[in-house]
Amino acid sequence: MSDLLMNVVDWSRAQFALTACYHWLFVPLTLGLGIIIGVMETIYYRTRDEKWLATTKFWMTLFGVNFAIGVATGIILEFEFGTNWSNYSWFVGDIFGAPLAIEGILAFFMESTFIAVMFFGWKKVSPKFHLAATWLTALGASISALWILVANAWMQYPTGMTFNPETMRNEMTDFWAVALSPMAMSKVFHTVTSAWALSGAFVVGVCGWMLLKGRNHDHCIRSLKVGGWVGLIGIVLTSISGDTSAVTVAKHQPMKLAAMEGLYEGAPGQSIVAFGILNPAKEIGNGENPFLFDISIPHGLAFLATHDFNAFVPGIEDIINGKTRDTTTFAAKPLSFEDRRERGKIAQHALAGFNDAMKANDSVTMKQFRKEIDDNFKYLGYTYLEEPEESVPNVPLTFYSFHFMVTIGGYLVLFFIVVLLLLYKPKWVPGKKKLQKFGYWLAIITIPLAYLCSMSGWVVAEVGRQPWTIQDLMPNKIAISDLSAGYVQVTFWIFAVVFTALLIADVSIICKQISKKSKTNLDKVETKK
């Protein structure tokens, strides 16, 4: 029975991961390209230069294709909370549903309304109104991302709620605690600004392909300047917000941070791994070295996690054993895995007693059990974990994803700086064609690297919090719907085929649009009209 349950859990997780990964291929480009288009149209509005109009329309076409397919995958993703994760939706629907409802009512309708004006209103509304519609579309996409990320952040750090034992549901008590939690704010800024960086890389890469073909040089220069600046600003802000995210994760999800660094035993002034190869033989408590090879920076992780070079940072085994941490950084001594499990059992038994007292209409006993529930409820999820190892995420996947993300992020900073230097200092551009072609190819290759970097960030965020659907409160195994593994497998493969077809269609249409426009002189097309 247990193997059958885990089969359903694994397939449900795989299906959600599949949908989320495909959806995220479209989202960041929508967020960042909307800003880039807004900047380009603003320049056109101020200069009335028809060449900027042609450039704006070119990128707007690619934005529209990407936006449409992104919406299709996003809708399916939200439906899966009801079809595959109905226990989760029932348990916290009053809280989790609120930001998603705001996203649908406010943000989605906002961007859906103004995108029509953006595409079809060129000759039907004034230039000022059209510019406003373009920026409102971009703003709507960002607001949409904000509320979805607020919902996701609440799963990582549940706050602003109370559990009602009479209904067996969680109820929101403080909307602003949910919307403005430190986890939500760091996640919103980190994700949105990283989308700017990805979109900047996309624009630079497409221009690299055009220049490789020897087409639309002036159009590419205009696009490169906007894309390069948006990309550089985005990656710098991403790096800054990444620091805030690390502090937040260290405080509220220490197990995730330990997995990100492959850290099993912490120490004061903990070093950070700049490069490392994990030891596949390493297991909890076996005494093996976690790394076959590593290059570390002394005191780096201590400073990253707490902004204190000498602070203690716990490892995986420390967290399981409840080893004491620096009380100036962490308000209370953490409990061991077994302590949390025992506290969860107290809450579970109190729930049973509360229900019996409620049936007997014994308000005094209900009040007593209610206090026990309130004191121990946040550890309830641990009663469903049998071994300490179950509380540890996939360390290799989390570790390598995190370090790949950081490495490519650092590369993108240098990449955008070089692009802008060569744009504003053209004499620095080498005259040799082979070296120029290398630069164009590097720009093209940067597009998939930026996507992999962005996807790696989500792998760290979601795999790093496993096995929890709601951090410390609800593990995956009790969040799923009452479905058969066969049903989930069938829908998994259906979605895999449909989403792959959508991705192929998206890439194909975008490539055709780029190829079609490349054959047109974008520097003259508008002036001829």
Find the range with the poorest average confidence among 43-52, 102-111, 349-358. Answer: 102-111
Alpha-carbon distance of 164 to 354, in angstroms, equals 11
CB 480 within 8 A of CB 85: yes
Q: Same domain, yes or no, for 72 and 138?
A: yes
Residue percentage of the chain with pLDDT more than 90: 62
pLDDT tens digits, 202-253? 999 999 998 888 878 888 999 999 999 999 999 999 999 998 899 999 999 9
**332 is a domain residue:** no
For the chain, first and last CA: distance in Å? Answer: 71
Q: What is the pLDDT of residue 314?
A: 92
**Structure tokens of 418?**
């070089």
Q: Which of residues 347, 362, 388 is at a domain's end?
A: 388
Listed in sequence order, the DSSP H helices in 425-484 are 433-463
**326 is a domain residue:** no
Q: Once rounded to an integer, what is the mean pLDDT over residues 353-357?
A: 92
Q: Is the pLDDT of residue 34 over 50?
A: yes
pLDDT tens digits, 336-350? 999 999 999 999 999
Q: Same domain, yes or no, for 224 and 363?
A: no
Q: Same domain, yes or no, for 380 and 429?
A: no
Q: Same domain, yes or no, for 126 and 240?
A: yes
Round the average pLDDT of the chain to a whole number and report it: 88
Q: What is the pLDDT of residue 111?
A: 81
pLDDT tens digits, 313-326? 999 999 999 875 54
3-state secondary structure of 435: helix
Closest CA to 59 of 236, 188, 203, 167: 203
pLDDT tens digits, 370-406? 999 999 999 999 999 999 999 999 999 999 999 999 9
**442 is a domain residue:** yes
Residue 325 gets which letter from DSSP?
-
Q: Same domain, yes or no, for 303 and 369?
A: no
Q: What is the pLDDT of residue 330?
A: 45
Q: What is the pLDDT of residue 103?
A: 86
Determine the structural domain holding residue 207 and report its residue range.
Answer: 2-253+394-463+465-522
**528 is a domain residue:** no
CB 86 within 8 A of CB 17: no
Alpha-carbon distance of 7 to 480, in angstroms, equals 11
Q: Once rounded to an integer, what is the mean pLDDT over residues 351-367?
A: 91
Q: Same domain, yes or no, for 273 and 237?
A: no
pLDDT tens digits, 193-213? 999 999 999 999 999 998 888
Total domains in the fold of the chain: 3
Q: What is the pLDDT of residue 431?
A: 55
Q: Is the pLDDT of residue 432 over 90?
A: no
CB 277 within 8 A of CB 292: yes
Q: Once rounded to an integer, what is the mean pLDDT over residues 12-38?
A: 92
pLDDT tens digits, 496-521? 999 999 889 888 988 888 887 666 66
Q: Where are the beta strands (DSSP E) in 351-490?
A: 468-470, 474-475
Closest CA to 102 of 136, 139, 150: 150
Dihedral sign, CA of 106, 471, 18, 276? Answer: positive
Q: What is the pLDDT of residue 66?
A: 87
Q: Same domain, yes or no, for 73 and 202?
A: yes
CB 470 within 8 A of CB 381: yes
